[in-house]
Chains A and B, each alone.
Chain A
C-alpha cells in the first residue's frame, strides 16, 4: 500500500484550484461578453450559410433537360390538369341546381383543358413551358387572388381553389426544371404586370406568352434557347425538332385525348343552351301548360275532348322530338368533330319543342284552361316528368363523345331506352289517369241517370195511380 506524497497532494490541489478559478472566471464573465460571443456566432453562421449557398450555386451543375424529356413532363402535366380540374368542377356541378354555376364551372374546365391541350401539343418546346405557366398562373390569380372562385361558387369554391392552387404549384415546379431562379422571378413579374394592366379580362386560359410583347420577354426566350436556363440549347433542340418521332408522338397523344375534348365541348354546348333565358322560359311555359291542363273542368264537354286530343298531339310531338334527338345522336360522329353542329341541331330541336308547347298553350288558352281550378284532382298533371326526361336527354347528349364512337350502339343504350320508356310511360300514365276519371264520371252520370229514371218512373207510377184513385 502506497501513501500519497505531499507533492502529489500539491499537484492535485493546484489542479482543483485552477479548475475552480476557471469556472469562477467563466461564471463571472459579464453578460455583455456572452452577448458579443453570441452575436459573433450568429454573424459567423450567417457568413457560413451565405458562402455555402454561393458555393452551391457555383459548383452545382444542374442536369439540362432534353426537349423529349420536357415533352413527357408537359404531357404528364396536361393529363393531371384534366384529372384534377375535372374532379373539382364535377364536384361543383354535382347536385347543383343553379344553371349559371354549372355553366361557369364547366367553362373553367372546358377552357382550361382546351388551352392546356393546345399548349402541350404545340411544336415549339420553348413556348410550351412559358405558355403553360402563364395560362395556369393567370387562372390562379383570377380564381384565387382576386377571389373569383368564391364570388361565383360561394361555399362550393374551396375544392376548386385547392385544385387550381395545386396545378399552379405543379406548373412552377415544372418551370423550375428548365428556368433559373432569376428567370422565374422575371416570368412571375411579367405575368403580374400583364394582369395589373389587364384587370378586366376574365377568360385568361388562352393568354399566351406571345401576348407579353416586350424586350424582357424576348430576352427570356432567347436566354432559354441559348441554353441560359436548364433546358438543352437550341442546337440540340433543332436536331430533336427534326425528329419525326416527336411529331408522331404529339399527334398520337392529342388524338387519344380528342374524344375527351369533344365530350367537354358538347357538354359545354348543352349547358350553354339550357342556361339561356329562352330555354328557361320555354320550360316554364311547359310547366304552366301542364298545370292548366290539370285544372281542366270536370264536366264532360268538348273542352275535355280537345284536351285529350292535345295531350295525344303533344305526346306525338314529344316522341318526334325524341326521334329528332335520336337522329342527332345517330350523327354523333360528325358531332364529335364539330360541336357547333350539335349546338345548332339541339337548338333547333328545342325550338321545335318550344313551338309545340306554344301552340299547345294557345289551344289551352282558347279553351280557358289557363284559369286555375280549385277542384284539383288527386295527382296533378306533372310536367316535371317531361322536364326530367328532357334533362335526361341532356345527360345523353353530354356523353356525346361516347356516342360518337358507336352511335347505333349508344342509341340502344339503357339510359336512352329508359329515357324513352319513362317519357312514354309518363305520358301514358297521364292519359290513363284522365281517361279512367272520365270513365268514372261517365259511370257516375249513368248511375245518376238510371237513378233519375227509376225515381221518375216511380213518381210517374205513383202519380198515375193517384189519378186513377180519384173520383
Chain B
C-alpha cells in the first residue's frame, strides 16, 4: 500500500503547475533604501554653496534626462534664482542645439561617437567634456511567467538581428530558445526602443555588432511603455535600462565570456561583469583653460555628490563609486577631497 501512495504522490508532484517561475521580479533587483545609504556613504557631500544666478538648459537622452529632472527638482530648492530648462528628445536630436550653443548640458546614455566629437571640435575648437553621472545596465525584460533560464549574446542576436553577425540561428518561437511548456509554441513578440533612444544604438552596436533590427519588431517611444508591454504579454521580450523594472517583468540572466549567467544587479553592473553594463553621462562645454558656466559647474557638482547620487539611487538608479565621483569632479575642475571614506558595497 505504501509504495502505491508514494507513487501517487510522485505522480502528483510531477504534474505541471501553474505558469509561474521562481525567478525574482525585476523590481526586486533594485536597491533598497538601506543599501543606497550604505553605497553612497563614501561619496563626498555637496558643500560650499556659492551665490548663484543664471540659466541652465539641458537636452538629450530621455533616460538620463530622467535623472537630470530629479536633480533639478532638488537643485531648484538650493538656488531659487537659477532658471532650469530641462528637455529630453534624445541625444541625436539634441546635438544640433548643443552645437548651436542653445543647450548647456547634453545627457547621454552612450559616449559621443567619433563623428559627433569631430563636429563639436569643428564648431568649438575643442572637444566637449563628458562625465559619468550614474551606472546603468541594459536588462533583458521578459514576462514574469516566462520560464527562460538564460540567454547568450548569440541567442539575443538571433532574436533581434536581421543578419545574425554573431553566427547564431534566427529565433522565431520560444521553443527556439529552449523554452518548454505552453509558451514554447508562442511566437516571440520582439520589443525595442525607437531610434531616438541611446539604448537603440547601444544594443545594435553591442549585441548585434552593427546589424539592423529585424522587420516585424515593435518599436516603443517610451521605455516605461516597453516594459509594460512585456508585462502584459507572456510572449514578449524587450530591453532597456534596469530602472524601469516592474512586478510583472523579470530580467533574463545573460551569459558572460567565462560562461556564467549573470543578472543586471548593482554588483555585476559596477564591476562590469554583466555584458550590457554601461555608464550614463553628461556632455558639456568646458574650454581648454578649464573655464565653465558656473551654473553648469554647480549643477554637475551637485549631481555627482552624495546627495545627488542618493536622490537618483532612491529612484531606482545605480549610484557612482567613489573613484567615479573623483574622476567626475576632476573633469569638472573641482578638487576632490583628500581622503574619501571607503565605500560600503554590501547589499
A residues whose Cβ falls under 8 Å from a Cβ of B: 38, 42-43, 45-47, 49-50, 53-54, 57-58, 140-141, 144-147, 150, 161-162, 164-165, 168-169, 172, 176, 180-182, 184-186, 188-189, 192-193, 196, 214-216
Question: With A42-B210, A49-B195, A162-B232 in contact, is A184–B221 under 8 Å at CB?
Answer: yes
Residue in A closest to B224 when the chains form the complex, CB atoms: A188
Residues in A whose Cβ lies below 8 Å from that of B240: none
Whether A172 lies near B225 (C-beta < 8 A) is: yes
Question: With A145-B246, A147-B248, A182-B87 in contact, is A168–B93 under 8 Å at CB?
Answer: no
With A42-B210, A146-B247, A181-B88 known, 13 other A-B pairs at CB within 8 A are A38-B210, A54-B95, A144-B246, A144-B248, A165-B229, A172-B221, A172-B222, A181-B93, A181-B196, A182-B93, A185-B62, A188-B225, A215-B76
Question: With A50-B92, A54-B96, A162-B232 in contact, is A192–B248 under 8 Å at CB?
Answer: no
Residues in A whose Cβ lies below 8 Å from that of B88: 181-182, 185-186, 189
* Interface residues as binary, B200-239 with A (CB distance below 8 Å gives 1, 0 otherwise): 0100000000100000000001101101110110000000
Residues in B whose Cβ lies below 8 Å from that of A147: 246-248
Residue in A closest to B232 when the chains form the complex, CB atoms: A165
Complex Cα gap A189–B87 (Å): 11
Residue in A closest to B83 when the chains form the complex, CB atoms: A215
* Interface residues as binary, B29-54 with A (CB distance below 8 Å gives 1, 0 otherwise): 00000000000000000000000000
Query: Within 8 Å of chain A (Cβ to Cβ): is B66?
Result: yes
From B86, B210, B247, A216 is in contact (CB under 8 Å) with B86
Whether B87 lies near A43 (C-beta < 8 A) is: no
Question: With A180-B89, A181-B196 in contact, is A168–B113 under 8 Å at CB?
Answer: no
Query: Within 8 Å of chain A (Cβ to Cβ): is B308?
Result: no
Q: How far is the CB of A270 from chain B (nearest CB, A)?
A: 31
Q: How far is the CB of A325 from chain B (nearest CB, A)?
A: 42
Whether B315 lies near A181 (C-beta < 8 A) is: no
Residue in B closest to A42 when the chains form the complex, CB atoms: B210
Whether B115 lies near A185 (C-beta < 8 A) is: no
Residues in B whose Cβ lies below 8 Å from that of A49: 195
From B76, B92, B210, A53 is in contact (CB under 8 Å) with B92
Complex Cα gap A182–B222 (Å): 10
Query: Within 8 Å of chain A (Cβ to Cβ): is B69?
Result: yes
Query: Within 8 Å of chain A (Cβ to Cβ): is B16?
Result: no
Whether A54 lies near B232 (C-beta < 8 A) is: no
Q: How far is the CB of B299 from chain A (nearest CB, A)?
A: 16
Q: How far is the CB of B291 from chain A (nearest CB, A)?
A: 29
Query: Within 8 Å of chain A (Cβ to Cβ): is B114?
Result: yes
Whether B115 lies near A43 (C-beta < 8 A) is: yes
Residue in A closest to B222 when the chains form the complex, CB atoms: A188
Contact residues of A: prevailing secondary structure: helix
Query: Within 8 Å of chain A (Cβ to Cβ): is B65?
Result: yes
Question: With A144-B248, A165-B232 in contact, is A185–B89 under 8 Å at CB?
Answer: yes
Residue in B closest to A38 when the chains form the complex, CB atoms: B210
Interface residues of B in 59-107 (CB under 8 A from A): 59, 62, 65-66, 69-70, 73, 76, 86-90, 92-93, 95-96
Whether B89 lies near A182 (C-beta < 8 A) is: yes
Residue in B closest to A161 when the chains form the complex, CB atoms: B232
Whether A43 lies near B92 (C-beta < 8 A) is: no
18 pairs, A vs B, C-beta closer than 8 Å? A45-B210, A46-B113, A50-B92, A54-B96, A165-B228, A165-B232, A168-B225, A168-B228, A172-B225, A181-B196, A182-B88, A182-B89, A184-B222, A185-B88, A185-B89, A186-B88, A189-B66, A189-B69
Whether A43 lies near B222 (C-beta < 8 A) is: no
From A46, A54, A164, A181, B221 is in contact (CB under 8 Å) with A181
From B114, B196, B229, A43 is in contact (CB under 8 Å) with B114
Complex Cα gap A185–B90 (Å): 10
Whether B228 lies near A144 (C-beta < 8 A) is: yes
Whether B195 lies near A53 (C-beta < 8 A) is: yes
Whether A216 lies near B69 (C-beta < 8 A) is: yes
Residue in A closest to B63 when the chains form the complex, CB atoms: A185
Residue in B closest to A172 when the chains form the complex, CB atoms: B225
Complex Cα gap A144–B248 (Å): 7
Residues in A whose Cβ lies below 8 Å from that of B92: 50, 53-54
Residues in B whose Cβ lies below 8 Å from that of A53: 92-93, 195-196
Residue in B closest to A173 when the chains form the complex, CB atoms: B221
Residues in A whose Cβ lies below 8 Å from that of B95: 54
Q: How far is the CB of B253 from chain A (nearest CB, A)?
A: 22
Complex Cα gap A81–B210 (Å): 41
Residues in A whose Cβ lies below 8 Å from that of B225: 168-169, 172, 188
Residues in B whose Cβ lies below 8 Å from that of A164: 232
Whether A144 lies near B113 (C-beta < 8 A) is: no
Residues in A whose Cβ lies below 8 Å from that of B65: 185, 189
Residue in B closest to A162 when the chains form the complex, CB atoms: B232
Residues in A whose Cβ lies below 8 Å from that of B228: 140-141, 144-145, 165, 168
Complex Cα gap A57–B113 (Å): 20
Residues in B whose Cβ lies below 8 Å from that of A168: 225, 228
Complex Cα gap A456–B6 (Å): 70
Q: How far is the CB of B161 from chain A (nearest CB, A)?
A: 13
Residues in B whose Cβ lies below 8 Å from that of A146: 246-247
Residues in B whose Cβ lies below 8 Å from that of A196: 315
Complex Cα gap A111–B163 (Å): 49
Q: How far is the CB of A459 from chain B (nearest CB, A)?
A: 63
Complex Cα gap A163–B97 (Å): 40
Residues in B whose Cβ lies below 8 Å from that of A185: 62, 65, 88-89, 222
Q: How far is the CB of B116 from chain A (nearest CB, A)?
A: 8
Most interface-central of B90, B232, B246 (chain A CB within 10 A): B232
From A46, A181, A192, A214, B224 is in contact (CB under 8 Å) with A192
* Interface residues as binary, B113-142 with A (CB distance below 8 Å gives 1, 0 otherwise): 111000000000000000000000000000
